Amino acid sequence: MGDQVRPPAGARRERASGGGQGVLLLCSGIAIVVSGSRPGLEQGLAPSLVQFAGYGCALVGGLLLLSSASEESARRIGGVVLGALAVLVLLDLLVAAGPNIGAGFVRLVGLVVIMVATIRLALGVAAAGRAR
């Protein structure tokens, strides 16, 4: 075990950031399932709490990417994640509850942007792992 090489700090940050973004996507799915299993007027706080826990994980992941000074692409992905996250949070805070096709579409686009960033990040981490 003593001969194992630790990945560089940038790779560890990218791996942790990808995990945070993955948790956001998982929490979003859980919040949708919990919300869909309850009648419209009896939603409670559970879906919002799960969603905002995911937002917190994505925020940490985006900040980790922004703080990685070694790679420009990681900082760019971090900026994209934080921008999409800001739109999602503002959407949750400002749009009234209930059916809203425009807000749903914007939410979908934001989640897809974060998903694509997570996939790009995972591919970069996998490529760096193979290169070692």
* Domain membership flag for residue 75: yes
Q: Which helix (H) or strand (E) holds 102?
A: helix 101-131
pLDDT single digits (tens) 78-111: 899 999 999 999 998 888 766 788 988 998 999 9
* Domain membership flag for residue 92: yes
* Structural domain range at position 37: 9-131
* Domain membership flag for residue 3: no
Q: Look up the pTM and report it.
A: 0.76
Cα–Cα distance measured from residue 75 to residue 36, given in angstroms and rounded to the nearest whole number: 36
Q: What are φ and ψ of residue 63, in 5° steps?
A: -65, -35
* Percent of the chain's residues with pLDDT above 70: 80
Cβ atoms 58, 20 nearer than 8 A: yes
